């Protein structure tokens, strides 16, 4: 495996621009929707969207199981289904705010969305297959193939047996009430609530129970926190506490700066944390924090709505929002340093000009 790409400072490269155009984010005005319309859901595709023939496609469950299974889409769709709302966020969301930055998808803050996923609980299928003695992890394999840092592989990730059996882990064939779109993993994807998005393997075709731990590149090398090139700290797992606001007023086409009419303005947004419910959200106005109202967590795996009434006085304002989860974890004011730009949950800042 060749070395990690060296970090960049300054201008964006054509490669980053190409990745950004392929892997577009959720427009922040879509924060007004409880459930992100499928066409506005953010997208992260490492390689190409693979060609899949749904008629001949099979999901194979094997390895250290008592009964290997092979199921077609219709067979899966006949099993008891569950629909649940889940917020997904890319682990690299916010990467572009960090300097030096890792050359990869240059998310600013838009790599997050919420959809309603329908499918079969993974635990139900694993109970059918029956895990054999010694099974420690499950490897989830996607049909998409490519190279990263010189290594050819199919996108694959693992979860421990305990994580796989958790409530809410779903093999989804529908998104927002319609068949899974190609870009979101048709015909079947894994959905792992509360975790950063990389765990939710798309274009799933095989689940393999293994002894020990999976050494695939996307598991053992990528998706770890690092502060220096030589080290490998904790793996990226649960989403850190985070929040965003719908930018108020109207934007300038090029700079995206906002213009807002003076007076009472309702600022609304969403907050989420992989660790649990949101306890508090504050709205910042030029450095002064005001409390916001947070709606209760009605859907356990989805973001929570919040709003605050802002008395907008004429002049230039920097608005910000900051959430705290029930564990007491609070968003930092500045991006936490990470070499790959993972886990940046620093507060969002929106520049607004208030006019009479």
Our finding on whether 144 is near ligand MTE (CB under 6 A) is yes
What gap in Å lies between CA 9 and CA 25, rounded to an integer? 22
Least distance from ligand MTE to the Cβ atom of residue 194, Å:
14
What gap in Å lies between CA 312 and CA 283, rounded to an integer? 12
Our finding on whether 267 is near ligand MTE (CB under 6 A) is no
Residues 73, 218 contacting (CB under 8 angstroms): no
Give the pairing type, strands 242-245 and 263-272. Answer: antiparallel
Exposed e or buried b for every residue in 329-355, given b needs 16+ CB within 10 A? bbbeeebbebbbbbbbbbbbebebebe
Tally of residues, the chain: 356
Our finding on whether 45 is near ligand MTE (CB under 6 A) is yes
**Which of 43, 61, 96, 138 touches ligand MTE (CB under 6 A)?**
43
What gap in Å lies between CA 242 and CA 51, rounded to an integer? 35
According to DSSP, residue 301 is labeled T
Our finding on whether 202 is near ligand MTE (CB under 6 A) is yes
**Which of 28, 71, 88, 271 touches ligand MTE (CB under 6 A)?**
88
According to DSSP, residue 101 is labeled B
Least distance from ligand MTE to the Cβ atom of residue 220, Å:
16
The residue behind tokens 């193939």 is 145
Our finding on whether 197 is near Mo ion (CB under 5 A) is yes
Our finding on whether 197 is near ligand MTE (CB under 6 A) is yes
Our finding on whether 260 is near ligand MTE (CB under 6 A) is no
Least distance from ligand MTE to the Cβ atom of residue 340, Å:
12
Residues 150, 175 contacting (CB under 8 angstroms): no
**Which of 85, 95, 184, 205 touches ligand MTE (CB under 6 A)?**
184
With contacts defined by CB under 6 A, name the span among 196-204, 229-237, 308-316, 335-343 that binds ligand MTE. Answer: 196-204
State phi, psi for 183 to the nearest 5 degrees. Answer: -70, -20
How many residues belong to the site for ligand MTE (CB under 6 A)?
A: 18
What gap in Å lies between CA 54 and CA 81, rounded to an integer? 19
Give the pairing type, strands 293-294 and 304-312. Answer: antiparallel
**Which of 155, 214, 225, 310 touches ligand MTE (CB under 6 A)?**
155
**Which of 28, 41, 241, 270 touches ligand MTE (CB under 6 A)?**
41
Our finding on whether 240 is near ligand MTE (CB under 6 A) is no
**Which of 28, 44, 171, 281 touches ligand MTE (CB under 6 A)?**
44
**Which of 118, 200, 273, 304 touches ligand MTE (CB under 6 A)?**
200
Residue ranges that bind ligand MTE, judged by CB under 6 A:
41-46, 88, 90, 142, 144, 155, 184, 197-198, 200-203
């Amino acid at each position: 495996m060749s070395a990690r790409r060296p970090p960049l400072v300054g201008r964006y490269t054509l490669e980053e621009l190409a990745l950004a155009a392929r892997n577009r984010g959720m427009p922040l005005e879509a924060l007004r929707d409880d459930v992100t319309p499928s066409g506005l859901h953010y997208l992260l595709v490492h390689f190409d969207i693979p060609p899949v023939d749904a008629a001949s496609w099979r999901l194979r469950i094997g390895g250290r199981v008592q009964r290997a299974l092979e199921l077609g889409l219709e067979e899966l769709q006949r099993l008891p289904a569950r629909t649940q709302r889940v917020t997904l966020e890319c682990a690299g969301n916010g990467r572009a705010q960090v300097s030096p930055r890792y050359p990869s998808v240059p998310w600013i803050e838009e790599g997050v969305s919420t959809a309603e996923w329908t499918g079969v609980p993974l635990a139900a299928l694993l109970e059918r297959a029956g895990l054999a003695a010694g099974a420690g992890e499950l490897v989830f394999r996607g049909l998409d193939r490519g190279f990263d840092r010189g290594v050819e592989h199919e996108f694959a990730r693992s979860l421990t047996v305990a994580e796989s059996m958790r409530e809410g882990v779903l093999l989804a064939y529908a998104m927002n009430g319609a068949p899974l779109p190609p870009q979101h993993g048709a015909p079947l994807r894994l959905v792992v609530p509360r975790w950063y998005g990389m765990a939710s393997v798309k274009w799933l075709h095989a689940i393999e129970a293994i002894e020990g731990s999976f050494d695939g590149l996307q598991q053992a090398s990528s998706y770890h926190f690092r502060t220096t090139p030589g080290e490998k700290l904790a793996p990226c797992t649960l989403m850190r506490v985070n929040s965003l606001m719908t930018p108020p007023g109207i934007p300038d086409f090029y700079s995206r700066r906002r213009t807002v009419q003076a007076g009472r303005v309702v600022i609304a947004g969403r907050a989420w944390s992989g660790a649990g419910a949101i306890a508090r959200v504050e709205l910042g106005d030029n450095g002064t924090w005001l409390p916001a109202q947070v709606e209760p967590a009605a859907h356990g795996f989805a973001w929570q709505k919040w709003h605050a009434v802002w008395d907008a006085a004429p002049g230039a304002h920097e608005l910000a929002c900051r959430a705290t989860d029930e564990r007491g974890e609070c968003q930092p004011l500045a991006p936490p340093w990470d070499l790959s730009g993972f886990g940046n949950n620093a507060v969002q800042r929106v520049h607004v000009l208030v006019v009479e």
